[in-house]
Amino acid sequence: MKSYTYLIIDFFTILIPFVFSFHPKLRFDKRWPAFFPAMAIAGFIFLVWDEYFTRMGVWGFNPDYLVGLSIFNLPLEEILFFVCIPYACVFTYHCFQRLKINPIPLSASHWITSALVILLGTLLAFHWGKWYTSATFLLLSCTLIYLQWIRKMNLSAFYFTYLILLVPFGLTNGILTGSFIPEEVVWYNNDENLNFRLGTIPFEDIFYGMMLILWNVALMEYFSKTDHSNSSAAG
C-alpha cells in the first residue's frame, strides 16, 4: 500500500472536482474545450522543467512511495500531478466565478501583484544562483507583470481562489514533503532553495504552485475568449 501513496494523493485530489464538474449549477465540463489545451501547454512546460531539475538533483522522488512506472525519467505519479492538481484548482476557480464569490476588489489586485513582484524581486536579488529559487521567482515575476500590466487581466478572482487553495495545498504538499508520513515522497536539495520551510513544505513551493495554477487559468481564459470570438464571428 505504501508504494501507492503518491498515486492515491493524485486520485483523491481530482475525484470530487471531476464528479462535480457535471453539476447543473457548475458545469465545468463546458469549459473543458478551453481548459484541456491550457492544461496541456502548461503541463508540458512544467514537465520539461521538472525532468531537467530531477536530472540536476534539485529535487527527486522516494521510490518507496511510487508504483515504479516512469516516463522520461519522471514517475507516473508526478506526470499525473500536473493533470490532477491543475484540474482541481481550476475547477475551484471556476466554481467561485459561477457562484460570484470574490471579495477581493479589482483595485486591490494591482497592489497584491505589486507586492508580490517586489517580494520576489528582492528575494531573487539576494539568492540568485539557487536553481529552484531563481527559476521560480523569476518566472512568476515575469508572469505577473505580463498578466497585470500588459495583458491587463483581472487577477482578483485568481488571488482569492489561490488564498483558499492554500488550505488543501498545505495538506497535500505536506504529505508529499513528509509532514504526516515517515519519509518525504518528494525530496529537495536545500542547496538549490532558500532552505526555509513552512512545516515540511519548501517556501518556494507556494510560488511554484501559484505559477502552475495561474498559467492554467490564464491560458484557459485566453482560449475561452478565442472560442467566444470565433463563435461570434461565425454567427
3-state helix, strand, coil split of the chain in percent (to 5) is 75, 5, 20
pLDDT of residue 222: 97
Alpha-carbon Rg of the chain, whole angstroms?
18
Coil, helix or strand at residue 205: helix
With a cut of 90, say whether residue 1 has pLDDT above it: no
With a cut of 50, say whether residue 232 has pLDDT above it: no
**Which residues are bridge partners to 70 per DSSP?**
75
Cα separation, 13 vs 163, in Å, equals 17
Cα separation, 87 vs 39, in Å, equals 8
For 53-98, write each residue's pLDDT tens digit.
999 999 999 999 999 999 989 999 999 999 999 999 999 999 999 9
Write the CB contacts of 127 (distance below 8 Å, at least 6 apart in sequence).
133, 134, 194
116-129: average pLDDT: 98
Cα separation, 218 vs 45, in Å, equals 15
For 184-226, write each residue's pLDDT tens digit.
999 999 999 999 999 999 999 999 999 999 999 999 999 998 7
Torsion of CA 132, 135, 141, 144, to 10 degrees: -100
121-143: average pLDDT: 98
pLDDT of residue 235: 52
**Which residues are bridge partners to 198 per DSSP?**
201
Average pLDDT, the chain: 95
149-161: average pLDDT: 97
CB atoms within 10 A of CB 97: 15
pLDDT of residue 228: 55
Cα separation, 58 vs 62, in Å, equals 14
Which long-range CB contacts under 8 A does 95-102 form with residues at least 24 apart?
A: 95/26, 95/28, 96/157, 96/160, 96/161, 96/164, 97/157, 98/25, 98/26, 98/27, 99/25, 101/160, 102/156, 102/157, 102/160
pLDDT of residue 229: 56
* Residue 3 near residue 65 (C-beta atoms within 8 A): yes
With a cut of 80, say whether residue 230 has pLDDT above it: no
* Residue 187 near residue 205 (C-beta atoms within 8 A): no
pLDDT of residue 226: 79
- DSSP assignments along 30-83, one per residue: GGHHHHHHHHHHHHHHHHHHHHHHHHHTSEEE-GGGS-S-EETTEEHHHHHHHH
8-14: average pLDDT: 98
Is the whole model's pTM more than 0.85, yes or no? yes
162-183: average pLDDT: 97
Among left, alpha and beta (phi > 0; psi -120 to 50; other), residue 195 is: left
- Amino acid identity of residue 232, one-letter, is S
Q: What percent of the chain has pLDDT over 70?
A: 96
